[in-house]
Amino acid sequence: MTLREHCAVELRRKLADRAYATGVIEVVLARLVDDGYLSESRFAESFLRSRLRKGETPRVAAMKARQKGVDEAALQLALDEAEASFDSDQACRSILKRRDPQGLRHGDERLWQKHARFLQNKGFDAATIVRVMNDDKHDQFDD
């Protein structure tokens, strides 16, 4: 069993799915917050860290956090921190090396486009994708 942080909206939804009364849910959530077991800021930080490890940009990770229902103020603080330390080129390069360690995309236009779309879905902009994929191609020939 793995433990992870939850936001209040998630817990509220889970408790409601188990047919707890609204009043009981609100009391439980308030108690969890008071006792320090439930924290929107911890959830936001944890969620963004997790999504960044999976190769997403802070912007895409924040969008997914919003879909979960995280408090916007807590998310914005975590997002500012994540963006301050995020190196787009390095993150893009890292994902690309995991996805195509042998550099097979350099000889196959369709494969190159497939990787570019993948990186775009992770939230990288076209300029970063092209720059990293081209830099990587030059590095391949320097070895």
Q: Is residue 67 within 8 Å of residue 56, measured between CB atoms?
A: no
82: tokens are 């994540």
The domains of the chain are located at 8-85, 88-142
Q: What integer pLDDT is reported at residue 101 of this predicted model? A: 87
pLDDT digits (tens, 9 = 90+) for 16-36: 999 999 999 999 999 999 999
Distance CA 123, CA 142 (A): 29
Distance CA 5, CA 49 (A): 12
DSSP state of 18: T
40: tokens are 């929107």
pLDDT digits (tens, 9 = 90+) for 52-63: 999 999 999 999
Closest CA to 40 of 74, 90, 81, 77: 74
Q: Looking at the chain, list the stretches that DSSP marks H as alpha helix, in order from N- to C-terminal side.
A: 8-17, 22-34, 40-53, 58-68, 72-85, 88-99, 109-121, 126-142
The one-letter code for the residue type at 116 is: A
Task: Kindly report whether the global pTM for this prediction surpasses the value 0.85.
Answer: no
